[in-house]
Amino acid sequence: MGKLINLGSAPPHDPMFGISRSNIVSRLTRKNWRRKAAGRAKDGRFLYVMVRLGEEEIDGKNQKRYYVRVHLGLPEDRSLNADFDKLTDALAYANGEDGAALASSTHMASADQIPEDRGADIYVSGFTGQGENRRHNFTLRLPTKV
């Protein structure tokens, strides 16, 4: 059976709204995790690591969990995503302080590895046909600068 996870609304520092260097810190803490992301690097790629509080439905009951999500990078970097019962465990993982997968395969990003500020991507899609005959032909992603 699948999981149903509710992370609520995306926070302002979510990368879908763009990337701002002012939202990237070297270490997430109990005071900044709701509005900042950690900058990590793996094989020269920058990873944008966020902690989100969400609810997971287990046996019909909602249980709060902390979700560490890796953005940017490559699709295989998503395997570093994890979830935890306690905020302290999620922060230790996101900061690479617990010796787990994120700690062993990444390191804190240096200033020159952090990407320049950029706005949210714009997507343009094209369709042909109408109603039931409508077919998706293409989608273009247009990155933007701030």
pTM reported for the whole predicted model: 0.81
**How many other CB atoms sit within 10 Å of the CB of residue 35?**
11
Spatial CA neighbour of 53 closest among 90, 27, 28, 23: 90
Query: Would you say the C-alpha torsion 30, 34, 39, 45 has a positive or negative sign?
Result: positive
Write down the pLDDT at residue 1.
57
Write down the pLDDT at residue 120.
85
Per-residue pLDDT reduced to its tens digit, 42-71: 998 999 999 999 998 877 888 999 999 999
Q: Where are the beta strands (DSSP E) in the chain?
A: 5-6, 18-19, 24-25, 37-42, 45-58, 61-72, 82-84, 107-108, 118-119, 122-128, 135-142
Q: Which residues of the chain have pLDDT under 50?
A: none
Write down the pLDDT at residue 146.
59
